């Protein structure tokens, strides 16, 4: 999945790291994190291709006296499901002790 940091009220929000943490809580395994600069050719050089919203936030920052720049990258996060584990052996149920039902009390 591609995710990019963004600015909220002038503060940089490192969204790729947040997404990575949430994915790991849901048992996904991060396989790779690749930096992808959104750029293209222009006048013989690679030029930043910032989104409209990035440029607007940068302009707001400069107008407010905060020298911020458009974010020049996004992250490609590659996740996978963890490998399947073998089911618990029947003997493992004995380790947890007896179970009680409502009728036992």
Would you state the pLDDT for residue 95?
A: 47
Would you state the pLDDT for residue 37?
A: 85
| Confidence band, pLDDT 50/70/90 cuts, at residue 78 | very high
- Decide which of 12 and 34 is more confident: 34
State if pTM tops 0.85.
Answer: no
Q: Is the dihedral of CA 21, 74, 61, 68 positive or negative?
A: positive
Output 19-22 pairs: Cβ under 8 A, ≥24 positions apart. Answer: 19/77, 20/77
Write the pLDDT tens digit of every residue in 41-65: 888 898 888 888 888 888 888 898 9
């Amino acid at each position: 999945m591609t995710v990019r940091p963004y600015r909220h009220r002038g503060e940089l929000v490192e969204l790729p790291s947040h997404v990575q943490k949430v994915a790991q809580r849901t048992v996904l395994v991060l396989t790779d994190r690749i930096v992808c600069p959104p750029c293209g050719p222009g006048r013989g050089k690679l030029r930043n291709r910032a989104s409209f919203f990035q440029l607007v936030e940068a302009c707001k920052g400069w107008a407010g006296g905060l020298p911020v720049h458009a974010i020049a990258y996004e992250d490609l996060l590659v996740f996978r499901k963890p490998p399947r584990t073998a089911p618990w052996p029947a003997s493992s149920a004995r380790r947890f002790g007896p179970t009680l039902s409502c009728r036992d009390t």
